[in-house]
C-alpha cells in the first residue's frame, strides 16, 4: 500500500510538472511574438537602442569582473606587504611586487624602483603610476555613462518622429481614422519606453562602478601613504646609524 501511494504521488507530481512545462512553453511561444511586435512598433530607432543595451550589458559584465577587490589589492600580497612593513624590511618590497601583477603591485613597483633617488622621486613615480592605474580602473565607464545619456535621446527622437508620422497621417486621411494616428503614437511611446529601459540601469551601473572605483582608490592611497610614512620614519634612523659609524671610524 505504501509503495502504491508513493507511485501515485510520483505520478501526480509528474503530471503537475508536465502541465506546468506546457503552460510555460505556451507563454514563451506567445510572448516572443509580442516582444517582436513591440520592437517593430518602435521603428528603425529601436535598433540603435538595442545596440546601446548590448553595449551597456557588455561593459557591466566586464567591469564586474575587472573591479573585484582581490584583483586590485590581492589579499596574499597585502599580507606579505604588511609583514615587510612591520619588520622594517623596505628592501624586500620591490622583489615582492615583481612576483605578482595587480594595480597595487604596479604602483609600488614604480615607486620603489626609484627608492635610491630619494623620497621625493619615489612619491612622484608612485603618483604617476597611480594616475595611470586610475585611468585603467575607470576604463569604459565613460562609455557606460554615454549610453545612459544617448539611449533616452534616441527614445526622444523616436517620440518626435512618431508624432510627425501621426500628424502626417491626420493630414492625409483626416482625423476620422484613429488607427492611422495610433501607429505613429505607438511608435513614439515605444521608443521612449525602450530608451528609458536602457538608460536607467546604465546610469545606475555607472554610478555604482564610480563609487567602487573611488573606494578602491582611497584604499590604494591609504596603503601607499602608510608605506611612505614608514619609509620616511626609517630614514632618520638610518642616517643616524651612518653618522655614528662614520664618527667611530674617524676616531
User: Which string of DSSP letters, residue by residue, matches 201-228?
Assistant: HHHHHHHHHHHHHHHHHHHHHHHHHHHH
Residue-level pLDDT at 214 = 93
Of residues 69 and 17, the one with the higher pLDDT is 69
Distance CA 190, CA 163 (A): 12
Per-domain residue ranges of the chain: 45-232
C-alpha cell at 15: 503530471
C-alpha cell at 61: 559584465
Residue-level pLDDT at 210 = 93
Q: Tell me the average pLDDT across 16-22.
A: 35
Q: Is the pLDDT of residue 233 over 50?
A: yes
Angle at Cα 78 formed by Cα 73 and Cα 83, nearest 5°?
A: 170
Q: Tell me the average pLDDT across 154-182.
A: 74
Residue-level pLDDT at 168 = 76
Residue-level pLDDT at 39 = 67
Give the model confidence (pLDDT) of 123-143 as tens digits. Answer: 888 888 889 988 888 888 999
Q: What does the buried/exposed string (b/e) look like for 193-221 if buried means 16 or more CB atoms within 10 Å of the residue's CB?
A: bbbeebbebbbebbeebeebbeebbeebe
Q: Grid cell 512618431 — which residue?
A: 162
Amino acid at each position: 500500500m505504501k509503495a502504491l501511494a508513493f507511485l501515485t504521488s510520483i505520478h501526480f507530481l509528474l503530471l503537475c510538472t508536465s502541465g506546468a512545462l506546457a503552460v510555460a512553453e505556451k507563454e514563451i511561444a506567445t510572448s516572443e511574438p509580442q516582444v517582436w511586435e513591440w520592437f517593430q512598433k518602435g521603428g528603425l530607432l529601436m535598433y540603435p537602442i538595442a545596440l546601446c543595451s548590448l553595449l551597456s550589458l557588455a561593459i557591466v559584465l566586464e567591469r564586474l569582473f575587472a573591479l573585484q577587490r582581490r584583483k586590485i589589492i590581492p589579499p596574499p600580497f597585502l599580507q606579505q606587504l604588511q609583514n615587510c612593513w612591520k619588520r622594517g624590511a623596505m628592501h624586500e618590497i620591490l622583489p615582492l611586487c615583481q612576483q605578482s601583477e595587480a594595480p597595487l603591485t604596479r604602483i609600488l613597483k614604480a615607486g620603489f624602483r626609484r627608492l635610491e633617488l630619494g623620497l621625493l622621486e619615489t612619491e612622484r613615480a608612485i603618483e604617476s603610476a597611480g594616475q595611470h592605474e586610475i585611468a585603467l580602473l575607470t576604463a569604459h565607464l565613460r562609455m557606460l555613462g554615454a549610453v545612459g545619456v544617448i539611449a533616452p535621446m534616441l527614445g526622444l527622437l523616436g517620440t518626435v518622429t512618431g508624432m510627425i508620422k501621426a500628424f502626417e497621417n491626420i493630414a492625409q486621411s483626416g482625423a476620422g481614422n484613429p488607427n492611422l494616428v495610433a501607429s505613429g503614437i505607438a511608435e513614439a511611446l515605444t521608443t521612449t519606453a525602450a530608451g528609458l529601459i536602457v538608460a536607467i540601469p546604465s546610469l545606475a551601473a555607472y554610478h555604482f562602478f564610480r563609487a567602487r572605483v573611488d573606494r578602491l582608490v582611497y584604499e590604494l592611497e591609504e596603503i601607499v601613504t602608510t608605506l611612505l610614512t614608514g619609509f620616511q620614519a626609517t630614514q632618520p634612523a638610518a642616517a643616524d646609524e651612518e653618522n655614528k659609524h662614520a664618527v667611530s671610524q674617524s676616531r
